Amino acid sequence: MEYTKLGQTDLSVSKICLGTMTYGDQNSEVEAHEQLDYAVAQGINFIDTAEMYPVPPKAETYTRTEVIVGNWLKNQPRDKIVLGGKAAGPRRGMHWIRGGPTSLDRANIRAAIEGSLKRLQTDYIDVYQLHWPERNVPMFGQYLFDPANEFESGTYLQGAQKKWVSIRNQLETLAELIKEGKIRYIGLSNEQPWGVMEFVRIAKEYDLPQVTSVQNCYNLINRGMEFGMSEVLFRENVSLLAYSPLAFGHLTGKYIDDPAAKGRVTQFLGYAQRYKKPNVPTASAAYTQLARDNDITPTQMALSFVYHRWFVASTIIGATSMVQLKENIAAWQYKLSDQVLNEIEALHLKYMNPAP
């Protein structure tokens, strides 16, 4: 395993991060602990979780993942594990998360971190991330910014503008938590270039904590990070934590071989609208065929592509079986040839970002 410095911090993290969002729903506690033990044995020191997990989010499973991870973490040398956590922001329908938070204000962020620390059985979280922006932005498969969503009436020309907690106030609360030793560094998730730049600018202007990382979707059929965001990350020294490198299994080839194959796509119908776009099956089939034509498994090609991109600091992988986990970690050792990379680019130009 290789390691890299995260942003402007002294944190050295493995290039692969173990995601945990299946724990407590698709994976039992015993299975989860087996995965965690194996990942650490392979040199992975970076574990990512969130108060909202497991997903899909449900009232009956909310917080189970953190409890499962906490039961494992209490028996580990804490200083050897880099732990990522996330605070959920306002989201319609999730009333079970702290009563349905209306904002990322001081009270909500504090309630989120206190709950997570208790469930994780630790005194601190290394990288604490805002799971999604509070303000109006396209997220989770949406791709168009709509000014009408800025207003209570739903129209751009009339109605009162919605209130949201300023980025400065969010940073001030996070600064308090750093001072108290409850978190070490801060990160963003599902964020847009404007948001990253505002967090960076305001932090510099008011001497507040700098953003360490951004956790966003990135894979062969969603390369939106390359349009503007990669330059922001490079110039501001912010690390990308790439999630969904296998595009909910679409890039493993299993749904090409059997559209009814077991997985989140078939198990949780209606979930992950990002991958319901018209060109997803066509593009997925093309990438699957490219891998097989070059005697590579589709999983190996998709993961290696993300693992070794210059702007990806660490890639968050997840699995529901040990077979999957072992294959995903082993893919790190494989480097794609220039020929395969060129063929990937040709397909990208033909099927550009079908799952934005």
Close Cβ partners of 236 (under 8 Å, ≥ 6 residues apart): 196, 197, 200, 211
Q: Which residues pair with 314 in a beta bridge?
A: 241
Question: What is the total residue count of the chain?
Answer: 356
Query: CB of 315 within 8 A of CB of 14?
Result: no
The three state secondary structure string of 129-198 is: EECCCCCCCCCCCCCCCCHHHHECCCECCECCECCCCCHHHHHHHHHHHHHCCCEEEEEEECCCHHHHHH
- Angle 116-120-122 from CA coordinates, rounded to 5°: 100
Active site residue 53: yes
What dihedral do alpha carbons 185, 186, 190, 192 form, nearest 10°?
Answer: -120
| Neighbouring C-alpha atoms within 13 Å toward the C-beta of 129 | 26
CA atoms of 80 and 308, how far apart (whole Å): 24
CA atoms of 115 and 138, how far apart (whole Å): 28
Beta-strand pair 183-189/239-243: unpaired
CA atoms of 54 and 26, how far apart (whole Å): 8
Close Cβ partners of 343 (under 8 Å, ≥ 6 residues apart): 290, 294
Which position among 23, 38, 53, 307 bears the catalytic label?
53
CA atoms of 150 and 190, how far apart (whole Å): 18
Query: CB of 145 within 8 A of CB of 138?
Result: yes
CA atoms of 319 and 19, how far apart (whole Å): 8
Tokens of 67: 């409890």
353: buried, middle or exposed (CB in 10 Å: 19+, 13-18, 0-12)? middle
Which residues are known catalytic residues? 53
